[in-house]
Amino acid sequence: MRLDDLLAALPPNCTPSSVSGKDELGARPVRGLCIDSRRVAPGDLFVALRGAVSDGHDYLDQAIALGAAALLVEELPDSLSSRRSSAPPIIAVPDTRRALAPLAARFYGNPSEELDLVGVTGTNGKTSTTYLVESMWRAAGRAMGLIGTVETRFADETYRSLNTTPESLELQQLLRAMRNRGITDVVMEVSSHGLEIGRTAGCRFRVVAFTNLTQDHLDFHSTMERYREAKLMLFRELVDASGTAVVNLEDAHAAHFVGAARERGARVIGVAREPRADAQLWVRETATSLRETRVRLGGEDTELELCSPLLGSFNIENLLVAVGIAIATDVSREAITRGVAACPQVPGRLERVDPGRGDLPTVLVDYAHTPDAVEKLLAAVRPIATGRLITVFGCGGDRDRSKRAPMAAAVARHSDLAVLTSDNPRTEDPEAILDDVEVGLAGMTAVPAAALAERERSYTRCADRREAIALAIGVARPDDTVVIAGKGHEDYQIVGRERLPFDDRVEARQRLAQRGAA
């Protein structure tokens, strides 16, 4: 592709402020896009991104040495100023990250326009909702792909995810690869970060969906209003005007998403737990247990009896949103029923660590790491737990401190016993994090670890997560339920700047095996 044709994709807010080597723009071919200076190949356009750890502008010389055809920058470093005449064309834009998305979409031929792309946003429930949609599409015989927090899947390929929403260059590469493999339908999680920094710009969504909005990521967005505005971009700017928006009407912010979709011209499918005038799909009856969730749904020309392996009453709202997406993408009732029943366990989302024997406690691992998610998780487990509810939890370091005490308060409302431990402490002192969290446990009594088994409504501190999990499973009776919250599917723990191997499910399985052997 010619460089000038590629640059024509830049929107007005990314108009180049300066260009060197203008005479070469038209004739110079671009054979690829690259954001990692170590991987530049001859003929690539190197886009210098500013990251939390490194800045691509520091590696322009390396990109030139490896044969970059042109450089996209936010400012020209002094190191290149003296030899600008010998350098390849250099294009300066206000924000290279926002410029990257439309350039990547143009370079890969706007693949989202050849796909039925579905985007799911919300604080909680995105992963479970996309898994349900994928399973229903599979039952309907669709050629589908999934992009999300845990992994990306399509055809016979699976890739572990680094971000909920991939960087725009990777996203457009994935969408083109999917289309080239015959994929027709793609469901993806769309994060507020991804929307705010423009990763999804250049995508056209046939269907968008909203699960809920609760406190999270305020270290990035500063306020709930800015957090909501970021998510609204999916409805205001990226859904096709002839597309559909599925909205969970139970959420306090739902009206904003309904309004944004209607302003865009999209059809709205509202879903709710009970019949209401603005809902097109609702719940008639439910029955939940530690093994399955049964739901009867009704609505406009809709009557469905569903049995889901996904546990917890909060998953009913995820199921409603997923079925709304299935209806919007013309999935038959029979395929919806079969797909919901066949949905695989979502990694780290109320995932049961099954010891295979009845004389050991039930252990559930969940990703809940916000006040609302912890509240919904424990409120769902409490009614179906036959014995005591024991919760192991912590809060991440270098993140929004204001959610720590509210998370603990949710634990105190529903748990009989709690073990306060580390999540990903990162560069914070783990004990200092526990001090912040402990404030919210005012309704429980602090006890030494050795006394936890004998005291009701009590908690203990144990900064070592491995020891905390062992303690909780060790004190649990056979009819108790142990919930390990916060990390879910993650198989690592970030301590300092190191990412160390650690998986709550592995730890729980080992402790259950040791207890069973004893």
Residue 417 lies in a domain: yes
Residue 101 lies in a domain: no
Residue 220 lies in a domain: yes
Question: Do 327 and 387 have their domain in common?
Answer: no
Summarised one tens digit per residue, pLDDT across range 294-332 is 999 999 888 999 999 998 888 999 999 999 999 999 999
Residue 281 lies in a domain: yes
What CATH number is associated with residue 16? Answer: 3.40.1390.10
Question: Do 302 and 215 have their domain in common?
Answer: yes
Q: How far apart are CA 302 and CA 325, in angstroms?
A: 14
Tell me phi and psi for residue 345, to 5 degrees.
Answer: -55, 130
Is the model's pTM score more than 0.75? yes
Summarised one tens digit per residue, pLDDT across range 381-417 is 999 899 999 999 999 999 889 999 999 999 999 999 9
**How deeply is 46 buried, as exposed, middle or buried, from its count of CB atoms within 10 A (0-12, 13-18, 19+)?**
buried
What CATH number is associated with residue 189? Answer: 3.40.1190.10
Q: Angle 296-299-301 (CA atoms, 0-180°, nearest 5)?
A: 110
Question: Do 356 and 330 have their domain in common?
Answer: no
Question: Do 200 and 305 have their domain in common?
Answer: yes
What CATH number is associated with residue 435? Answer: 3.90.190.20
Q: Domain range holding 80?
A: 3-95
Summarised one tens digit per residue, pLDDT across range 118-173 is 999 999 899 999 999 999 999 999 999 999 988 999 998 999 888 878 999 999 99
Question: Do 410 and 382 have their domain in common?
Answer: yes
pLDDT the model gives residue 25: 67
Summarised one tens digit per residue, pLDDT across range 221-248 is 568 889 899 999 999 999 999 999 999 9
Question: Do 391 and 449 have their domain in common?
Answer: yes
Q: Which long-range contacts (CB under 8 A, 24 or more apart) does 437-441 make?
A: 437/394, 437/395, 437/404, 437/405, 437/407, 437/408, 438/408, 439/404, 439/405, 439/408, 440/404, 440/405, 440/406, 440/407, 440/408, 440/409, 440/410, 440/411, 440/412, 441/408, 441/409, 441/411, 441/412
Question: Do 72 and 139 have their domain in common?
Answer: no
Question: Do 140 and 8 have their domain in common?
Answer: no
Question: Do 87 and 231 have their domain in common?
Answer: no
Question: Do 320 and 384 have their domain in common?
Answer: no
Residue 214 in this model has a pLDDT that exceeds 60: yes
Question: Do 505 and 356 have their domain in common?
Answer: yes
How many domains are there within the chain?
3
Angstrom distances, CA of residue 163 to CA of 157, 170, 192, 227: 18, 11, 12, 18
Question: Do 330 and 355 have their domain in common?
Answer: no
Residue ranges with strand state E in 360-469: 362-366, 389-393, 417-420, 445-446, 458-461
Residue 114 lies in a domain: yes
